[in-house]
Structure 1
Amino acid sequence: MVDVLSFGELLIDFVPTTSGVSLTEAKAFKKAPGGAPANVAVGLARLGVNAGFMGMVGDDAFGHFLVDVLKSNGVSTQGVRFSGVARTALAFISLQKNGERDFMFYRHPSADMLYSPQDVDVAAIRSAKIFHFGSITLIGEPSRSATLFALETAREAGCLISYDPNLRLNLWPGEKEAREGMLSVWDQAHIIKISDEELEFLSGEKDIEKGARSLWRDTLKLLVVTRGSKGVTCFNAHTQLQVPGYAVKAVDTTGAGDGFVAGLLAGMLAHPEAVQDEAVLRSICQRANAVGALTTTRRGAIPALPTLKKVVQFQRSN
């Protein structure tokens, strides 16, 4: 029984030990557990939320390492499956001097791509209050069918549904397929977190308000556009809210958006009325911004996600 269940990919990020170099120039890499939905699950657990993860890894050393990481962070792994025919996904990440990244993935196929509807733990979904998922498992079969089945189960169970249309263009066949695939489940989500770059990609609009309103659906309760250190802009059916971010020295931005999502969902779990209460929503987004900012100050995604104690201390000092 978990309050928030996160569905999707769990993988190994290999991050260069020095910033500002390309993958060809990097001399050494640090192994770090990652995968956007898994990052969210760990982020939630470190904030004191009862969280679980659902997905597939290889029945190999990396796969068992990743599951052990989830367990050690208090994340339920009831919905995790091990593949005997594909290995755990790997991602090599090049860090620029400003902490931004380039990705090179090894998944031909990887275990997360083979997660099927038969692997979905229906009981685990039905026990959750919030179901969170991303767009990577929508790229191909059978993981796309598994995602749609899990999503349908969550909707029928009355879960609040959170979606992160995480853009990794080099994993899709092309821009058209990526845009159509990421938007294919748009109408089924209640909360969507999207970066300003992803917003422009999906809407064709550089202006955040125009882009957000063009993507608004009546099924949505909240659309949050993250803008890096500038903070976030939140939209509901009638209004928008600007919440400034925190200035930190970014070492690695991997997982910052996932940290923000963890902070956002933790707040929404505690305060379901926040969508219609500007003061509460502002407070939730301020904390989520703090989680995201702190995540950029260390290398790797899961290793960098802060505890609730660190977030509270950071907010008090800022």
Structure 2
Amino acid sequence: MAEKYDVVALGEYLVDFSPSGCGKMGNPLYEMNPGGAPTNCLAACSALGGKTAIIGAVGADLFGAFLKRKAADANIDISGLQTVQMNTTLVFVSVDKTGNREFAFVRDPGADTQIDADKTNMSLIDNARYFHFGTLSLTDEPARSATICAVRHAKQLGVRISFDPNYRAPLWKDEADAIKWMRWGLEQADLVKISEEELQMLFGKDIDTGAKEALSFGVQELYVTAGSRGAYFYSHSEQCYDKGFSVEAVDTTGCGDAFTGAILYQSCREAGKSAVERLRFANAVGALCAMRLGGMSSMPDMKLVAHMLENGV
């Protein structure tokens, strides 16, 4: 019998170059880290004990080889990872004193956009509890068609669908195109994690009103992250809020993805938890991620999360 996965994700897998001090000449140094929102999400779920797999594409270069090793080290199944004759996508991350980031992408168009539907191992989705995707695989072909194909495949099988818009302005031809595909994602998804800024971008309203509009797209569970102010949960019958944890943020790269991975882990393994408990748990995972450099490499295990939940630090 085929292995059952908690989460199978499709999307960008790339190299984050995170700031790492200065060299002898006073110039900034950058450390190479594996990254990309869908893969960060899987890494978070795997670190907590979930079974995960990635569908994506990396280049036939040293960066692609690095990413394959790191995903395997994180216990992410890489059998759906395609190797293409194009440069692996790179991202240079700058972090300010509060841990907030800016991104500079090297993606023209980049290996992550070359996911080929005809070469995609759809059987991974057959054996998933959740199929997860974002919008960066919708910016360019052929990845856009592969994403649409995978979503349709998941729907036909009754696999629950999770979506995180993860808007990155430099990768879209214009904001209108991004909004179009973000709305399409909402129409496909059962569970959505979205930032407060993305909700405002889509609906131009406060969180409560925007959340109600998002639910009208057919979303069953909506999680809205608000940075240091915590997170909100909305469904058609319930809404709640958790203020999160006050921590010294070192690098917020991957925090939202860590939150999403924690929500998906609980949905698969701890479905009996209340919405408030799910929010608290996911906020703890996101806070712990913020306390360390790097995205995928900073995901906490269950022991660290339990300590955070018990002690608040």
Structure 1 length normalisation: TM-score? 0.93
Q: Which residue of 2 aligns with 1:102?
A: 102
Q: Which residue of 1 aligns with 2:259?
A: 260
- The residue type equivalent to 1:204 in the other structure is G
Superposed CA deviations along residues 77-128 of structure 1, whole A, max 9, x for unmatched, are 11111002x1110000111111111111001111110112112211111111
Q: How many residues align?
A: 306
Q: Which residue of 2 aligns with 1:52?
A: 53
Aligned residue among 5, 8, 11 for 1:5: 8
Q: Which residue of 1 aligns with 2:91?
A: 91
Q: Which residue of 2 aligns with 1:170?
A: 170
Aligned residue among 268, 291, 294 for 2:285: 291
Shift of 1:238: 2.8
Shift of 1:18: 4.1
Decide whether aligned partners of structure 1 residues 315 and 272 sit closer, same or farther in structure 2, where only a CA change above 3 A counts.
Answer: closer
Alignment partners' CA distance in 2, 1:284 and 1:31: 32
Q: Which residue of 2 aligns with 1:82?
A: 83
SS at match of 2:28: coil
Q: Which residue of 2 aligns with 1:14?
A: 17
Contact 2:241 2:279 in 1 (8 A): no
Q: How does 1:270-309 map to 2 (within 5 A)?
A: 270-272=269-271, 280-309=274-303
Contact 1:218 1:237 in 2 (8 A): no
- The residue type equivalent to 1:13 in the other structure is D
Q: Which residue of 2 aligns with 1:217?
A: 216
Shift of 1:27: 1.3
Contact 2:225 2:232 in 1 (8 A): yes
Shift of 1:218: 5.5
Tell me whether 216-225 or 171-180 shows the greater mean CA deviation.
Answer: 216-225
Shift of 1:44: 0.8
Shift of 1:299: 1.1
Say whether residues 1:137 and 2:137 are aligned partners: yes
Alignment partners' CA distance in 1, 2:192 and 2:6: 18
Alignment partners' CA distance in 2, 1:216 and 1:3: 24
Decide whether aligned partners of structure 1 residues 240 and 26 sit closer, same or farther in structure 2, where only a CA change above 3 A counts.
Answer: farther
RMSD, aligned CA: 1.5
Q: Which residue of 2 aligns with 1:71?
A: 72
% identical equivalent positions = 36
SS at match of 1:3: strand
Q: Which residue of 2 aligns with 1:204?
A: 204
Structure 2 segments unaligned to the other structure (5+ residues): none
Shift of 1:239: 2.7
Alignment partners' CA distance in 2, 1:300 and 1:271: 27
Alignment partners' CA distance in 2, 1:67 and 1:163: 24
- The residue type equivalent to 2:160 in the other structure is L
Alignment partners' CA distance in 2, 1:236 and 1:218: 12
Q: Which residue of 1 aligns with 2:194?
A: 194
Q: Which residue of 2 aligns with 1:277?
A: none
Contact 2:6 2:265 in 1 (8 A): no
Alignment partners' CA distance in 1, 2:311 and 2:46: 23
